[in-house]
């Protein structure tokens, strides 16, 4: 299992999220294990409009297999890890299978905010930052500010 998955799960749980993973209990000792990312996932898990789906998958074939099913379930966020090139290849393959461009535009891929993240911890921070921004209706803009106390507001 890639270290990013552990970092995302650990950070998510620390932010108060319920984390479920395809990993075994030994690699994520404090997180519930229920499923594998496969086509039957949408039949085995109750998705709601408050579900945040992260796909830290290892390649385009898994993305192409899982995304058509996951696009059809309720969710607040559906993100796929990887490069822009990898996502472009996946999009071509998904469109060839009949998945609409409109449906694919709902996918956050590559997931995360642009932080020039390199380490697993930075990648996890990038992904969780995007999710918090979307949940809290933030802008992602810098909070840098210089002004008087009277102009500061609440």
Per-residue pLDDT reduced to its tens digit, 35-91? 444 556 656 778 899 999 999 888 999 899 889 989 989 999 999 999 999 999 999
Which parts of 15-59 fold into alpha helices (H)? 41-44
Distance CA 107, CA 78 (A): 5
Domain residue ranges in the chain = 3-151
Distance CA 28, CA 39 (A): 23
Overall fold of domain 3-151: Rossmann fold (3.40.50)
Give the residue, 1 or 90, on which the prediction is more confident. 90
Which pLDDT band holds residue 147 (cuts at 50, 70, 90)? very high
E strands in the chain? 20-21, 32-33, 52-55, 77-80
- Mean per-residue pLDDT, 89-115: 97
Q: Check residue 82 and give left, alpha or beta (phi > 0: left; psi -120 to 50: alpha).
A: left
For the record, the structure tokens of 110 come out as 């590559």
Cis link prior to 91 (omega < 30° from 0)? no
């Amino acid at each position: 299992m890639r270290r990013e998955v552990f970092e995302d799960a650990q950070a998510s749980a620390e932010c108060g999220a319920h984390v479920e993973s395809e990993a075994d209990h030994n690699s994520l000792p404090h997180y519930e294990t229920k499923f594998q990312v496969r086509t039957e996932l949408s039949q085995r898990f109750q998705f709601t409009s408050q579900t945040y789906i992260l796909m830290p998958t290892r390649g385009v074939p898994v993305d192409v297999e899982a995304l058509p099913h996951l696009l059809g379930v309720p969710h607040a966020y559906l993100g796929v890890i990887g490069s822009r090139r990898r996502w472009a290849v996946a999009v071509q393959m998904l469109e060839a299978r009949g998945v609409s461009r409109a449906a694919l535009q709902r996918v956050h891929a590559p997931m995360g905010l642009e932080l020039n993240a390199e380490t697993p911890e930075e990648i996890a921070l990038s992904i969780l930052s995007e999710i918090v921004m979307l949940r809290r209706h933030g802008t992602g803009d810098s909070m840098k500010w210089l002004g008087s106390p009277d102009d500061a507001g609440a």
